[in-house]
Amino acid sequence: MSDEALVTRLRDLLGKSAVLTDTDVTASYARDMMPLAPSGTPLAVVLPANTEQVQAVVKACAEAKVPIVPRGAGSGLSGAANAIDGCVTLSLTKLNEIVEIDPGNRLAVVQPGVVNLDFRTAVEKHGLFYPPDPSSYDWCTIGGNLSTNAGGLCCVKYGVTTDSVLGLEVVLADGSLLKTGRRTVKGVAGYDLARLFVGSEGTLGVITQATVQLKPLPQAPATLVAGFSTTEAAGEAVARVVREGLVPSLLEIMDASSIKAAEAYLKTDLGAGSDCQALLLGQSDAGGEVARRELAALEQICVDCGADLAYTTEDLEEGRMLLQARRVVLTALETYGLWLTDDVCVPRTRIAELIRGCEKISAEVGLRIAVVGHAGDGNMHPTIVYQPDDPDEFARAQRAFDEILEVGLSLGGTVTGEHGVGKIKREWLAREIGPVGLRVHREIKRALDPENLFNPGSMFSMT
């Protein structure tokens, strides 16, 4: 089947308006938010409105031997949704229905095109809570979160996306619909196929529906901020929190560079002092006396580890203001140039070593590197700032990106905690999982997608 014939068939299946071929339009679907990841030009962008249309698209592309790249909102940071030349980009934004909210069983059934924040808002009306909260939660979609196994600020207590998934519906490479998982709290029948597809970045199938579990709506959070004159002291405080069994709903860290950027952007003093090298932000959503005890224990640990500042508040607005400093870091860094954020997770006892490693890399490449991250689970986001119109700076930013991953692995970590592998970290995945792990990945891919239809070249190569 020729390209023209495939486009005609897709228009017959979906309607003319749901098949986009104008290159000025399709260019906006060609890549996500990762500047280093390669991207190509799609043959067409299709916008199916239901599962049956997704199945029809998959069957048509399989017959024509044209690859498919599934796509959510494009908020990703790994290039996993980037087009390759001649592919059909399958956008799932029209599958945007919250099919069911079941308060009695604390679960919901949702389509992939639903925006994370919209879903959270909908379940909150039932006194329930959907935990996964990526930083782009106000525009990223559930499907993208599922495909990359997205995390967020609350992972320390509630886990990543897969920890909330009960079951999935997935269109396979032959167009058939796999229904896997359950609606019950427990269930061990067969392989856990739902978890196989979560985090597979569209390489094994197209997720068209998910059954997810919900939590009771947490209490309003109380907040802690603590400033340290050394990174090592902040790192020891994090390690103490883990050793003593405390599980705050949020525990974030900011290094000196990110603190200064946030203060300049917000035009405010965070109260940490000019010598502050690291800031910890913690929250408890347990409510009442339990929250007060949790924060008191966190505060005491910080003081014992040498914090120059340790302050807690139950005032919601004050807590939002303190946390805003963490949330605005990437925006604040844009005042210095374009940012390139890395994603590396290390054992929580080695966070300070990672930050020191980033400081050394920053000095070697001559670029600003600010480190923020989820201290509670060790997932750090070193962010490199460079001038996009300077090829030399861009090359140094690329070098820094890779050297940060090298440091992360050397500390016993992983090359991605929540952004995924995509098309930017394929070689790093191979290094991390080794030849046997890579062979198993390829065998699973061949079993489910023998013609390499879905997102070829993402995560790993087939040769």
- Residue 442: phi and psi, rounded to 5, are -65, -35
Question: Per DSSP, what are the bridge partners of residue 278?
Answer: 228, 255
Query: What CA–CA distance (Å, rounded) separates 197 from 164?
Result: 14
Question: What was the pLDDT predicted at 135?
Answer: 83
Reduce the DSSP state of residue 423 to 3 states and report it: coil
Over the chain (463 residues), the average pLDDT of each successive run of 10 is 92 97 95 91 98 98 98 93 97 98 98 97 97 88 96 89 96 97 92 96 98 96 96 96 94 95 88 84 94 95 96 93 90 93 95 97 97 95 95 95 97 95 95 97 98 96 92
Residue 420 to residue 174: CA distance in whole angstroms:
26
Whether the Cβ atoms of residue 225 and residue 270 lie closer than 8 Å to each other: yes
Tokens representing 305 are: 């580890």
Residue 386 forms beta bridges with which residues? 338
Question: Structure tokens of 118?
Answer: 């919209």
- For residue 95, give the amino acid letter: L
Q: Is 241 helix (H, G, I), strand (E, B) or coil?
A: helix
Query: Looking at residue 388, what is its pLDDT?
Result: 87
- The candidate with the shortest Cα–Cα distance to 257, out of 365, 375, 385, is 385
pTM tops 0.85, yes or no: yes
- Could you list the beta-strand ranges (E) of 160-270: 165-171, 177-181, 206-213, 215-216, 222-228, 250-255
What pLDDT is stored for residue 423 in this prediction?
95
- H-state helical runs in 38-197: 51-64, 116-124, 142-148, 155-158, 193-197
In this structure, how many other beta carbons lie within 10 angstroms of the beta carbon of residue 306? 15
Strands 222-228, 177-181: parallel, antiparallel or unpaired by DSSP? unpaired
Per-residue pLDDT, 269:
80
Sequence-ordered list of residues with C-beta below 8 angstroms from that of 406, at least 6 positions apart, any chain: none
Per-residue buried b or exposed e for 287-297, using 16+ beta carbons within 10 Å of the residue's own CB: eeeebeebbeb
- Report pLDDT digits (tens) over 132-189: 988 888 899 999 999 999 988 888 999 999 999 999 999 999 999 999 999 998 899 9
Other Cβ atoms within 10 Å of 107 Cβ, number: 22
Greatest Cα pair distance in the chain = 70
Around Cβ 188, how many Cβ atoms within 10 Å?
6
Q: Which residues pair with 206 in a beta bridge?
A: 171
What tokens were used for 422?
């995509």
10 Å CB burial of residue 94 (0-12, 13-18, 19+) is middle
Q: Could you write out the DSSP letters of every residue in 375-400?
A: TTTTEEEEEEEE-TT-HHHHHHHHHH
CA distances (Å), 35 to each of 31, 382, 385, 428, 429, in order?
9, 15, 12, 17, 19
**DSSP 8-state code for residue 170:** E
Q: What residues contact residue 9 under an 8 Å CB cut-off, 6+ apart?
A: 1, 60
| Neighbouring residues of 314: CB distance < 8 A, sequence distance ≥ 6 | 222, 223, 291, 292
In the numeric block, the tokens 């070098």 are attached to 399
Q: Where are the beta strands (DSSP E) in 172-214?
A: 177-181, 206-213
142: tokens are 């559930």
